[in-house]
Chains A and B, each alone.
Chain A
Amino acid sequence: MREPPSPQAHADARRALDRLAFGPAPGQVDKVAEQGARAWIAEQLARPLPLQALSLDLDLPSSELGVTMQEDPDAFREQAREIAVALAAGRVASAVDSDHPLYETMVDFWANHFSVFVRKGMEPIFLPSYERDVLRPFALGRFADLLRATARHPAMLFYLDNWRSAAPQPAESAFFPSFQGQAKRQRPEGLNENYARELLELHTLGVDGGYTQHDVEQVARVFTGWTIDRPRRAPAFRFAPAWHDTGPKFVLGQAIAGGQGVEEGEALLSRLAAHPSTAAHLARKLARRFLADDPPRAAVERTARRFLSSRGDVRATLHALLLDGDELFEGPPGKVKSPFELVVSALRATGVRPKLPRAALAALMKLGDVPYLAPTPAGYPDTAERWIDPGAALERTRFMFALASGRNPALSAPSDAALAAPEALLATLSESTRRALDTAGLLPAERLGLALASPEFQLR
């Protein structure tokens, strides 16, 4: 006879699921406690990607579109809107029901790290492929591969404008041609440093990573000619040699001989991916996501070291962060769930499922956390201070009461188990929350709504 798991084993399992799996599904804490939280994490880290990572078994519209913006702007916009909704709803659905939740967590992490904003213009038509061919295949792979895939993808090339960046024309011959109206396929007149800056600041080195304005301009020169082939019909990466700046460059203290074409950018991406500042930046960001808003320094340093020694292997890096120390399991749950994490965790806990794809998105819209709608390239914030204010508290509470009521026609009803024992959904139970749940005269649905709206359920 095996001994039942200890209370500590349960607590560890709960913590692992809260931090790495968008919260437990019914019965899952027992199972993970049985297996051991660390063993479960190790198994999640080792597991091969599901096949659907590569084919994306979601009801996604294809990128081959029926109409272009020029042919029919209204139809194009409608199409784009549907793509955006399908993608966001698909992200919620796969996070709710995945048997590889750590992987879904990392898809969410990288989607935010390499954020693309759906409303700028043409991105919607690039996005199904961005999700399918960039974020999902590389989410647990090598950072350098992921970085390279984002750099070459039309979604990123368009969003951060690199597709319209070219070596400045030497002569005054092409002095100020017209840029009115839609950008044509004509040669851009010079540099656009948008991508170069965000590549250094957000994607790799970090804002304190030791680069200068001069580096930004040099990096922009390296990436001249990285553009989009057939952007409106069958978008793909294209290197345009005629747009490329063939002169020598000097980036982060190193000379780059000119004239190497697309190889210059490829080599620079590899160099950035392996840079100690990138390791420190990513380690800190991962530790903030999984441990605390202000994560322990030892954990950050350990993670950065493993990132470098493993040559940016995401699984090995996560292993160092999550399993080579005890920080994950220490202290009370102190991370505030993002609205996305909150909604997904509530659906997982209660068995409620959206009947319409956009049902779960309405709440995320109100809370300002819809996939692909982060208004800046920095993505969504990941600290309590930025997510919690009185308006957010009201909106979170409203969603939970609606979900628990079973009366929202777009959502299925909560499980009997959740209605019968809502306190069982909470990792901890404070005196205030216990008193609230003990209030005389509450209906089961109200008790469930209160449990989900409690401060405890906002935390992981």
Chain B
Amino acid sequence: MTRAAITAMLLVAISSLVLGQGEKPAPGLELNDVEGRAMRLSDYKGRVVLLNFWATWCAPCRAEMPDLVKWQREYKSQGLQVIGVTYPPEELAEVRQFIKSIRVNYPVALGHERTKAIFDKGETLPITVVIDKKGMLREVIQGIIFPEEFEQKVKPLLR
């Protein structure tokens, strides 16, 4: 896990050096999902990725997840891929139980403070990172993502 985070941070640093301050490529993130399987962000290139940082103890995070489930179902065919990343402190059993209870239909990875810090150093949860089909970082949406934001910021990328 530590090696994955260091790799991600190195990639962010190298990317910044090469591309400057404009549109940035998403960092090469590698994490484990709730079943212990390794998952890489680069595996989803060609899809619009919503990287959603959340926690079971965060009420707004829980409140927005049914919408994420709905959007994943409705826009999967248009290339949408939601990926949940947990924020500590978390109990793996609680995470598993919660995602099962609301029938989460997208992969959920176990994250750290430093994983979120790659995209956002603030304390707000949830945050949702929007990555386009070319693997470019388009937006970091702070707080709960409301339907009108999805319409404005995510839907145009799916066309």
Q: Do A and B bind each other?
A: no
